[in-house]
Structure 1
Amino acid sequence: MSKQEKGYQVIIFDWDGTLVDSTGRIVDSMQRAARDIGLAEVPDSAVQNIIGLGLPEAIKTVWPDIHADQLPVMSAAYAHYFVVDSQVGMDFFPEARDMLERLRSNYRLAVATGKSRKGLDRMLDDMAIRHCFDITRCADETKSKPNPQMLKEILVELDLQPEQALMVGDTSYDLDMAKAIGMDSVGMSHGAHDESVLLACGPRAICHSIQELELWIGTHG
């Protein structure tokens, strides 16, 4: 079936926790960076809950009393631990790479992520997956989730309407930004936010694996 015959013309994916199993690595890197600058210890769940936001917004949400001059120091420390010195592994969820390769034959594919442009570009190249995506948007070049600005920019560039797009994500931030502009969404339960949190955002479906997601898209997309 051609791209033109599909109900959805573009599928927009979140990155961390949706395509890539990176939740543990993000939490580990954030906690180590916070310890480096003497911030108060917080539960891992507090860090997990802010995955999906842009890095400055995420840090300020968990540590609202952080001083302005500490923010860039912690951001740099987080990036170092995440990229160079993490003690936690990271890779695509099983079947994610193969799913993207198959979907790109029938859909345009996009990424809308809380990562920085530098961070996403590094991962696209390191994981040899850049060729699958028509367009990507990052939190440091537009407004952070849950503001839907990055979705609007993707639609404008592709000359599409919200009803022609599907957002796939593992957090309420992903699903809420889609809902704000009338875009359908699917929640992934294998990432940062609990299934009950995702359901409250009104997605068309909750999928528990990449295989289940691909089957849902094949049936409803």
Structure 2
Amino acid sequence: MPRDKPSAPRRFRLLVFDWDGTLADSTTIIAEAIQRACGDLGLPTPDDVAARFVIGLGLADALRHVAPTLAAADYPRLSERYRHHYLSREPEIPLFVGAREMLDELDARGFLLAIATGKARAGLTRALVQQRLEHRFIASRCADEGFPKPHPDMLLALMDRCGVEPVETLMIGDTTHDLELARNAGACALAVTYGAHAAEGLAGCSPLATVGSIPELAAWLAANA
């Protein structure tokens, strides 16, 4: 069950979702693409925890983290191999069961819905079209359009675009990068534990609550947002 911290009821106008590992069940495919790309270049293969840790960062930051000894001139090759492995499996990526219905309900309740993601704009556009969600979100911000997570730029830009204050904004994500983004932007955060990062690490970022599934997320938002 969700583990809520005692707090006064609050109402949010803007709900900002991470994409990978929060709405899309893509964590395993991304982590395996990172591992295979490192193997292609003869680099040490990051274990699952290390590969999952960088999900949500911009691609350049993620690759520098998993391959810190790689010469700068070779990062484009690593990026190309990652894209090769990821794109070959991208059509397999589904939404988490219940995510579409949750978004429909939140939209019907009048929330402003947005996305803040470590994906590039082209990648998010493909994902939204694939899932027929290109018109569901009022705004989105990607890692190649400014500073990536956990810099507050992404969330600040969304709040400005939607005309809301930090106190009216809730960031929902599966990584510490998402929760640190919210904290850096002065917004609240809700952690989901079914994605890339373990519950213990997420709890260390002091989210309003942690939830373990889409049904729990939908229920928490229905009761608390």
Give the match for residue 6 of structure 2: none
Q: Of 61, 78, 81, which aligns to 2:82?
A: 78
The answer to whether 1:42 aligns with 2:46 is yes
Distance 2:164 2:29 in 1: 35
Match of residue 94 from structure 1: 97
- Residue 69 of structure 2 aligns to a residue in which SS? coil
Report if aligned partners of 2:29, 2:89 keep a CA contact under 8 Å in 1: no
* 1:137-156 superposed matches below 5 A: 137-156=141-160
Equivalent position of 1:64 in the other structure? 68
Q: Which whole-Å CA distance do the structure 2 matches of 1:146 and 1:220 have between them? A: 25
In the alignment, is the contact (CA less than 8 A) between 1:37 and 1:70 conserved in 2? no
Contact 2:172-2:189 within 8 A present in 1 as well: yes
Select 2:188's aligned residue among 178, 184, 190: 184
Gaps of 5+ in 2: 1-9
In structure 2, the residue corresponding to 1:193 is in which secondary structure? coil
Residue in structure 1 matched with residue 31 of structure 2 by the alignment: 27
| 1:133 aligned onto 2:168 | no
Q: Deviations over 1:97-155 (max 9, x none)?
A: 11111111221100000011111111111111111101010111111111111000001
Shift of 1:75: 1.2
Query: Which of 138, 162, 178 is the equivalent residue of 2:166?
Result: 162
CA contact (8 A) 1:52 1:114 kept: yes
Task: State how far apart, in whole Å, the 1-side matches of 2:13 and 2:130 are.
Answer: 27
Asked if the contact 2:173–2:190 (Cα under 8 Å) also holds between the matched residues in 1, the reply is yes
Q: CA deviation at 1:89?
A: 4.3
Give the total of aligned pairs: 215
Match for residue 4 of structure 2?
A: none
Distance 1:50 1:28 in 2: 12
The CA distance in 2 between the partners of 1:129 and 1:41, in whole Å, is 35
User: Percent identity of the aligned residues?
Assistant: 39
- Note if 1:195 corresponds to 2:202: no
Give the aligned residue type for 1:76: E
1:205 & 1:127 partners in 2: Cα distance? 28
The root-mean-square deviation of aligned C-alpha atoms, in Å, is 1.5
2-structure distance, mates of 1:197, 1:85: 28
Structure-2 change in CA distance of 1:85 and 1:17 (3 Å):
closer
Give the Cα separation in 1 of the matches to 2:215 and 2:46: 34
Shift of residue 81 of structure 1? 1.2
Distance 2:220 2:204 in 1: 20
Aligned equivalent of 1:3: none
Gapped regions of structure 1 (runs ≥ 5): 1-5
Aligned partners of 2:88 and 2:16: how far apart in 1?
Answer: 28
C-alpha distance in 1 between matches for 2:29 and 2:132: 20
Rounded Cα–Cα distance in structure 2 between residues aligned with 1:216 and 1:161: 21
- Secondary structure of 2:135's aligned partner: helix
2:35 counterpart letter in structure 1: Q
